[in-house]
Amino acid sequence: MIDLRSDTVTKPCDQMRAYMLQAPVGDDAYQEDESVNLLQDYCKSLFQVEDALFVTSGMMANRLAFMSQTSPGDEVITEYSYHVNFFDSAPMSAIAGIVMNPRHSIDGILRLQDVEQALDSKQRYDYFAQPKLISVENSINGWAGKIFPLETLKSLYNFTQGKGLSLHLDGARLFNAHIATDIALHEYAKHTNTLSVCFSKGLGAPYGSMLMGTKETINKARKYRIWLGGGVHQTGMQAAAAYYALNHNLDRIAQDHQLAQYFAKLLLKIPDISLHDDTIETNMVQFRLNCSIKSSAYFLDQCTKNGLLLFPWVPGVFRAVIHKHITRQDLEQAALIIQNIFSEIEASLTSNRNSA
Amino acid sequence: MIKFEIDLFSDTNTNPSLEMRQAMCAAEVGNEVAGEDPTVNKLIETVCDLLGKEAAIFLPSGTMCNGIAYRVLCQRPGDLIILDKTAHPFIKSSLISGLAQAQPYCVEGKRGIFSAKQIESIISAPRRYNISCPRVVSIEQTTNFGGGAIWPLKTIEEVCSLAHHYGVYTHMDGAHLLNAVVETGISAAEYSSQFDSVWIDFSKSLGAPIGTVLAGSRAFIDEAWYYKFQQGGGLHQAGILAAGCLYGLQHHYQRLPEIHSYAKQLAKLLSDVPFLKIDPDEVQTNIIIVEVNHLQLSALHFEQALRERGIRVLALDETHIRMMTHLDISLSDIRMVFTTICEVGEEKLITKAI
């Protein structure tokens, strides 16, 4: 089975498992887990941030970022397609109690003008929703792994500071952006109030995300982490896996990016498919079906039957994510499977026409 | 980081053994959030059988189990959750109001256990638009801050049938349920049968680093999945954690009676100490809560003095100390704790006398 649904499907390698085996542990609920502390300290220096908090998942990291920088009834400005809104708006409203003001930008990048429009889109009397947080994403999942430009991040950061607005960066795939652009991780971090990164995507660790920011904000997040049930005990083995991944799997992400470009080229040869965005910047390809195929579900089902797993985004649009288990041959095979499905459909349509 | 030679602070403070780590690191894994992790699925099946429930869900912590169960069972903000005043979800976090948007209704139980009679008036109160609606009765088996006391099956049955009679849900925080099971011989399924939701913890007496499983009806667990995502409990290759849980169940469960016997021995030893008050017959499982009646030293003083001697205990307030025995505690540790407590207490009395 060629699994292109997500880079979260990666399994820990033997060396990572061996490294986990020897990890010293303690009770992280009381900040006594040596391996967690080591990972948090390592991230503090790598990202040059004041404080870092290891949490169970990216969803928890983003939830905590919102909860620690807003109060119920506050407004968060973001782009419609970003994970915090596209997938996560229900919990953001149910748990953080915030109201989203999602913008439809022209290309998935939330620019200063979009934010300004959002700010001016409503009355702002004291007793109405107050904008408190801007949330961006890098790389942008809903736009096939597009990179959020550093210059835009800088302009948002400069705009927000001193205005009672915070800037959060959901960096679930920031490592992909970092490898693709060669911009230092701390350079991204410098222009945010909080950022989250995920170890269980391209880096291939089994679990865990890191939320980073000032001591004050992270202390609040630590409290909310207990509320949500993210206070765990001996999580050092998981932290060790993340530490291993940071030190061994970061550079290999470049291969995923090359393969994604290769896969895009293969897909472009299939006439019934168009790419959602022509420039493949990181490890994802999104494509749209142009033909009179019965339904997305039918296409997905045919792919699965032939050994290819894809992630259905919205009807007619599919996402393929390249990760460490995927080879060039897998992608050639994947393109062939897709091509064959179209050929069969074409053939059956022709025969139907002939028999009619 | 401080390393204590003897750590009685909590039974969560166990270091996974090499064998457990090997089982974890060899685990077959998949994407847990998609229900594709074979080891997590195996753990879930095992727990369903153990608790006699239709469905279950893997979660990272007991607090998340309580939070999710309350959110599923409560219907409207402001609903009442009835629990003992010592109940962990009430004492240790703000999740009842902060997350579930419910209100705690506290009962004055005895060592964490209350009777059906005590909750009858609140449960049977007429439902009116201007009165908060009781929605869940939540019990803790065993009672953590009640000193590890075991809820008798009869009391459970009375409380649950009263609740169900009035359409109120029942929830069991089973963080230490298995401790009750080994002590009474009553099966986990029997204890659980009256509850709409129940969870057990593998990171306490079973010694796994992380992991809890929440169980109930299929409809309940379907709802729980929704909140699992919301609360950041959706994990990827969680089979590594689940393997630790399975290992704990297979290899550490049988050690629980021994762990209990150490707590009972320590309680017996301490019951003869003049400046401490404890009824050793009340220590049923692995938790000891001892009252300090020392002329000069409070429970906090004892905590500090013991800490300086490499022993960690938990002062609950000025007069109470909690100690928990677990996998990493030996009989000689128990003797050492007893001797050191005596030394600390007597030293101060002697100094004063001089």
User: Rounded CA gap, B175 and B162, in Å?
Assistant: 24
pLDDT of residue B91: 85
Same domain, A287 and A242: no
By three-state DSSP, how is residue B173 classified? strand
Per this entry, what is the length of chain A?
A: 356
Start-to-end C-alpha separation, chain A: 38
Shortest distance, CA A289 to any CA of chain B (angstroms)? 25
For residue A80, being part of any structural domain is answered with yes
**Chain A residues near residue B242 by CB distance under 8 angstroms:** none
Q: Tell me how many helices (H) and strands (E) chain A has.
A: 14, 13
Per-residue pLDDT tens digits for B105-131: 999 999 999 999 999 999 999 988 888
- Judged by a CB distance cut-off of 8 A, whether residue B63 touches chain A is yes
Cβ proximity of B89 and B66 under 8 Å = yes
A56 neighbourhood in chain B, CB within 8 Å: 60, 232-233, 235
Which CATH number fits the domain that encloses residue A336? 3.90.1150.10
Helix (H) or strand (E) holding A164: none
My answer on whether A236 and A301 are in the same domain is no
Q: What is the pLDDT of residue B2?
A: 56
Q: Which of B25, B95, B210 sits opposite A20 (nearest CB)?
A: B25
Strand-pairing partners, residue A166, are A133
Interface test with A, best of B236, B240, B314 (most A CBs within 10 A): B236
pLDDT at A319: 95
Residues 6+ apart with CB under 8 A from A137: A79, A82, A83, A84, A148, A169, A170, A171, A172
For residue B13, the SS3 value is: coil
- Rounded percentage of chain B residues whose pLDDT exceeds 90: 90
Q: What is the mean pLDDT of residues B184-190?
A: 98
Q: Can the peptide bond before residue B12 be classed as cis, meaning omega within 30 degrees of 0?
A: no
Q: How far is A292 from chain B (nearest CA, A)?
A: 30
Task: Count other Cβ atoms within 10 Å, centred on residue B76.
Answer: 10
A1 touches chain B (CB under 8 A): no
CB contact under 8 A, B210 and A238: yes
Taking CA atoms, A67 is separated from A12, A219, A345, B99, B154, in Å, by: 31, 12, 50, 11, 43
Q: What is the per-residue burial (b if ≥16 Cβ within 10 Å, else e) of A152-175? A: bbebbbebbeeeebbbbbbbbbbb
In the block, residue with structure tokens 């404890």: B278
Interface-testing mutation among B15, B37, B231, B240, with chain A (most A C-beta atoms within 10 A): B231
Q: Please answer yes or no on whether A206 and B67 come within 8 Å at the CB atom.
A: no
Region B6-16 average pLDDT: 92
What gap in Å lies between CA B121 and CA B123, rounded to an integer?
Answer: 6
Nearest to B99 among A21, A55, A228 (CB): A228
Q: Do residues B217 and B206 touch, judged by C-beta distance below 8 A?
A: no
Helix residue spans in B193-255 (DSSP H): 218-230, 239-251
- B59 vs A55: CB contact, 8 Å cut-off? no
Segments of A207-263 assigned E as strands: 209-213
The helix-helix angle for B218-230 and A58-69 (nearest 10°) equals 60
CA dist list (Å): B22 to B11, B16, B27, B240: 22, 10, 9, 10
Q: Which residue of A has its CA nearest to B90?
A: A227
Q: What is the dihedral angle through the alpha carbons of A198, A199, A203, A204, rounded to the nearest 10 degrees?
A: -120
Find the helix packing angle between A296-305 and A328-355, rounded to 10°.
120
B66 chain-A contacts, CB cut-off 8 A: 229
Residue in the block written with tokens 């006594």:
A32
Q: Cβ of B209 and A25 within 8 Å?
A: yes
Look at residues A215, A248, A281 and tell me which one is the last residue of a structural domain.
Answer: A248
Which pLDDT does position B93 carry in this prediction? 67
Structure tokens at A201: 């995507």
Query: Which helix H or strand E contains A101, and what residues bound it?
Result: strand A99-103
| pLDDT recorded at residue A293 | 64
Which of A83, A232, A309 is the best substitution to test chain B (most B C-beta atoms within 10 A)?
Answer: A232
- The confidence score (pLDDT) of residue B1 equals 45
Last residue of one domain, picked from the residues A248, A272, A289: A248
Q: Minimal Cα–Cα distance from A14 to chain B, Å?
A: 8
Q: Among partner residues B14, B25, B231, which is closest to A229 by beta-carbon distance? A: B231
Q: What is the CATH architecture of B18-251?
A: 3-Layer(aba) Sandwich (3.40)
CATH code assigned at A178 = 3.40.640.10
Give phi and psi for B339, each to the nearest 5.
-60, -45
In the sheet with A209-213, reading across from the earlier edge strand, the strands are: A51-55, A209-213, A194-198, A166-171, A131-137, A75-79, A99-103
What residue ranges of chain B are covered by domains with CATH 3.40.640.10?
18-251
B67–A61: do the CB atoms touch at under 8 Å? Answer: no
C-alpha B125/C-alpha B131 separation (Å) is 9
Exposed (0-12), middle (13-18) or buried (19+): which is A190, by Cβ within 10 Å? middle
A219 and A264 co-located in one domain: no
Residues of chain B found within 8 Å of residue A21, distances taken between Cβ atoms: 18, 21-22, 24-25
CB of B29 less than 8 A from some CB of A: yes
Chain B contact present for A232, CB below 8 A: yes
Burial-class residue A179 by CB neighbours within 10 Å (0-12, 13-18, 19+).
Answer: buried
| A206 min Cα distance to partner chain B (Å) | 5
Of B31, B230, B238, the CB nearest to A95: B230
ipTM confidence score: 0.86
B-chain residues within 8 Å CB-CB of A232? 60-61, 203, 210
Which residue of chain B comes nearest to A204, CA vs CA? Answer: B237
Q: How far is A349 from chain B (nearest CA, A)?
A: 35
Omega of the bond leading into A139 within 30 degrees of 0 (cis): yes
Closest CA to B14 of B219, B334, B244, B185: B244
Q: Which of A203, A219, A248 is the last residue of a domain?
A: A248
In chain B, list all ranges with CATH 3.90.1150.10.
255-353
A89 touches chain B (CB under 8 A): no
Q: Among A7, A199, A228, A304, which would you mutate to test the B interface (most chain B Cβ atoms within 10 Å of its Cβ)? A: A228
Query: Does the pLDDT at position B85 exceed 70?
Result: yes
User: CA-to-CA distance for B244 and A206, rounded, in angstroms?
Assistant: 14
Contact across the interface for A206 and B236, Cβ inside 8 Å: yes
Residue A55 lies in a domain: yes
Sheet of strand B197-201, all strands in order from the earlier edge strand to the far edge: B55-59, B212-216, B197-201, B169-174, B134-140, B80-84, B103-107
Residues B98, A17: C-beta atoms closer than 8 Å: no
DSSP state of A92: I
Three-class secondary structure of residue B258 per DSSP: helix
B contacts of A229 (beta carbons < 8 Å): 59-68, 95, 231, 233
pLDDT recorded at residue B135: 97
Q: Is B21 close to A20, i.e. CB distance below 8 A?
A: yes
Q: Tell me, what's the pLDDT at B94?
A: 80
Residues spanned by the domain of A341: 253-346
Total structural domains in chain A?
A: 2
- Residues of A numbered 53-72 whose beta carbons fall under 8 angstroms of chain B's beta carbons: which are they? 55-57, 59-61, 63-64
Point out the residue among B12, B25, B63 whose CB comes nearest to the CB of A27: B12
B57/A contact by beta carbon, under 8 A? no
In a domain, A151, yes or no: yes
Rounded Cα distance between A211 and A195, Å, is 6
Check if B248 contacts A (Cβ < 8 Å): no
If asked whether residues A132 and A209 sit together in one domain, one would say yes
CB contact under 8 A, B21 and A91: no
**A296 and A229 inside one domain:** no
CATH number for the region B255-353 comes to 3.90.1150.10
Give which of A6, A15, A56 to mutate to test B binding, by max B Cβ within 10 Å: A56
pLDDT tens digits for A81-135? 999 999 999 999 999 999 999 999 999 999 999 999 999 998 889 889 999 999 9
Residue A180 and residue A328 share a domain = no
Ordered per-residue pLDDT tens for chain A, 356 residues: 999 999 999 999 999 999 999 999 999 999 999 999 999 999 999 999 999 999 999 999 999 999 999 999 999 999 999 999 999 999 999 999 999 999 999 999 999 999 999 999 988 898 899 999 999 999 999 999 999 999 999 999 999 999 999 999 999 999 999 999 999 999 999 999 999 999 999 999 999 999 999 999 999 999 999 999 999 999 999 999 999 999 999 999 999 999 999 999 999 999 888 998 778 999 999 999 887 666 788 899 999 999 999 999 988 899 999 999 999 999 999 999 999 998 887 787 777 777 66
A208 plus A238 within the same structural domain: yes
Same domain? For A269 and A292 the reply is yes
Inside any domain, residue A4: no
Residue A2 lies in a domain: no
Question: Are B29 and A11 within 8 A, CB to CB?
Answer: yes
Between A290-299, B98-107, B239-248, B310-319, the lowest mean confidence (pLDDT) is in: A290-299
Question: Would the pLDDT of B288 be above 80?
Answer: yes
User: In sequence order, what are the residues at sequence separation of 6 or more whose Cβ sits closer than 8 angstroms to the Cβ of residue A233?
Assistant: A27, A28, A29, B12, B13, B203, B209, B210
**Do residue A229 and residue B63 have CB atoms under 8 angstroms apart?**
yes
DSSP label of A95: I
Cα distance from A39 to chain B (closest Cα, Å)? 14
Residue A126 vs residues A24, A123, A129, A131: alpha-carbon distances, Å = 51, 9, 8, 11
Q: Is residue A356 part of a domain?
A: no
In a domain, A3, yes or no: no
The residue among A297, A330, A333 whose CA lies nearest residue A315 is A297
d(Cα A351, Cα B279) in Å, to the nearest integer? Answer: 88
B242 touches A at CB < 8 Å: no
* Pairing of β B6-7 and β B311-312: parallel
